Structure 1
Amino acid sequence: MTPMTAPHPSSAPTDRDRPGLRERKKIKTRTAIRDATYALIEEQGYDATTVEQIADRAEVSPSTVFRYFPTKEDIVLTDEYDPILEAELRARPADEPWADSLRYVLRRGVGFGTGEEGEVTRLRSRLVSEVPAVRSRMMESISVTGRMLARAIAERTGHDPDGLEVRVLAASLVGGLMEVMQYWAEHDHADGLGDLVDRALDVMEHGLPAGKPRGNDVAP
């Protein structure tokens, strides 16, 4: 669920399903490449950071970087948590209103925690807002999350996952979440990301609120 997804403690593997040695090496390499990329971007900016520099910092070859991430933008954007969120959405109580289920899962997926992952989420949101290449790649890749949401929404509501209504709803959700991330970055991450997600979902569910715009939304 790029660029907003961050791992949650409940998604940590247990001893029983911990990956094997080969998979752990792959995870270690991906993590090293990502950590090197984030560090270099913080030091010198996105445009000045090259794949060769990333490879050198991560102690791998440039071909290894490209084997794990087809483009530099993918290093920043790619995550592996959509399947976890899809499973959580399907696991919500059957009698829970689907809108409440969506709200619960999407809040879990925005990565609004503190600490290291919070810093990564803020960096991602800033890059999506400021770097056209990252924003363009984000628009391409976010369709994956939209298809995931469409499948889960269709399963919960009994609609056709390829039906127009489900597709429009799923696209509205992922588009709205992308706007949330951009708004958050444009306003220096002053508001809680979870609160902004709630505001966006309120608009999608109930329409624009009555009365004057709040806070930063007031026109100059």
Structure 2
Amino acid sequence: MSTPLPEYAIDRLRDRLDRLPLRERKKLRTRRAIQDHALRLFSERGYDETTVEQIAAAAEISPSTFFRYFPTKEDVVVTDEYDPIMAEMFREQPAELSPIEALRATFGEILPQMYQDELETITARMRLTATVPALRARTFESLREGTHAVLKEIIAERVGRSTDDPDVKTFTWAVLGVLQAAMYEWLDGAPIEELPALVDRNLEFLSRGCPL
């Protein structure tokens, strides 16, 4: 079990969200409300048995509004707002840190806060991803289109290279690989509260060149 964070540490993540422009905060609240209703309905009825129309009705919005926030039904499960926060935290790490060291510091801060603040939501999303084939496929697409692109940009900035640099691309995929390995270890039975430690262990292993 991970050690609970002090309240001031949890508040740091909330503060980052609170600093968003008012319009973005309103969009975030609406997106979270839709996701909450969707996860509740998936739990009650099953993922395949729940329609976008039912989610929209529960959230008191139109189906067209749903699709303004989530391009597909799968996205209501796999989408979150943490990539830009992660990027901000990464950019704030001391310049002398290597990309791996900066990533370990970033994930060491953001993951415990996420799991302590939104453990129930994250657990529901991960369990759905583990059991619904369409969600597993969409999760990979989301990683490639979202998280990979963000990681590639901030890593390239830190090392002073282009995002098209083959080494930057390869390094970024390696990072995503060890992150996914931590997730699959959880799927095999590790408590979800241990994910921050699993991620850090895997990043440290990557930093040593993955010796076997």
Q: TM-score, normalising length from structure 1?
A: 0.80
Residue 108 of structure 1: how far off its partner (Å):
3.4
Q: What CA distance in whole angstroms lies between the structure 1 residues aligned with 2:89 and 2:191?
A: 27
Match of 1:218 in 2: none
Q: Does 1:183 align with 2:179?
A: no
Match of 1:93 in 2: 94
Q: Is the 8 A contact 1:122 1:185 kept in 2?
A: no
Match of 1:164 in 2: 166
Q: 1:45 and 1:110, CA in 2 relative to 1: closer, same or farther beyond 3 A? A: farther
The structure 1 residue matched to 2:14, chosen from 9, 12, 37, is: 12
Within-5 A mapping of 1:1-220: 9-13=11-15, 17=19, 19-20=21-22, 22-110=23-111, 113-114=114-115, 117-143=118-144, 144-187=146-189, 189=191, 192-208=194-210
Q: Is the 8 A contact 1:180 1:196 kept in 2?
A: yes
Residue 36 of structure 1: how far off its partner (Å):
0.2
Q: Is the 8 A contact 1:122 1:189 kept in 2?
A: no
Q: How many residues align?
A: 201
Unaligned runs of 5+ in 2: 1-9
Q: What CA distance in whole angstroms lies between the structure 2 residues aligned with 1:127 and 1:136?
A: 12
Unaligned runs of 5+ in 1: 1-7, 211-220
Residues 21-44 of structure 1 deviation map (CA, whole Å, 9 limit, x = unaligned): x55543332222111011112222
Q: What CA distance in whole angstroms lies between the structure 2 residues aligned with 1:115 and 1:163?
A: 37
Q: What CA distance in whole angstroms lies between the structure 2 residues aligned with 1:114 and 1:153?
A: 25
Q: What CA distance in whole angstroms lies between the structure 1 residues aligned with 2:53 and 2:158?
A: 46
Q: 1:122 and 1:148, CA in 2 relative to 1: closer, same or farther beyond 3 A? A: same
Q: Is the 8 A contact 1:129 1:186 kept in 2?
A: no
Q: 1:52 and 1:180, CA in 2 relative to 1: closer, same or farther beyond 3 A? A: same
Two-structure CA RMSD over aligned residues (Å): 2.5
Residues 34-73 of structure 1 deviation map (CA, whole Å, 9 limit, x = unaligned): 1101111222222222112211211112221112111111
Opposite residue 27 of structure 2, the aligned amino acid is: K
Opposite residue 178 of structure 1, the aligned amino acid is: Q
Residues 77-125 of structure 1 deviation map (CA, whole Å, 9 limit, x = unaligned): 1122212211211111112333211111123344665556111111222
Q: Which has the higher helix share?
A: 2
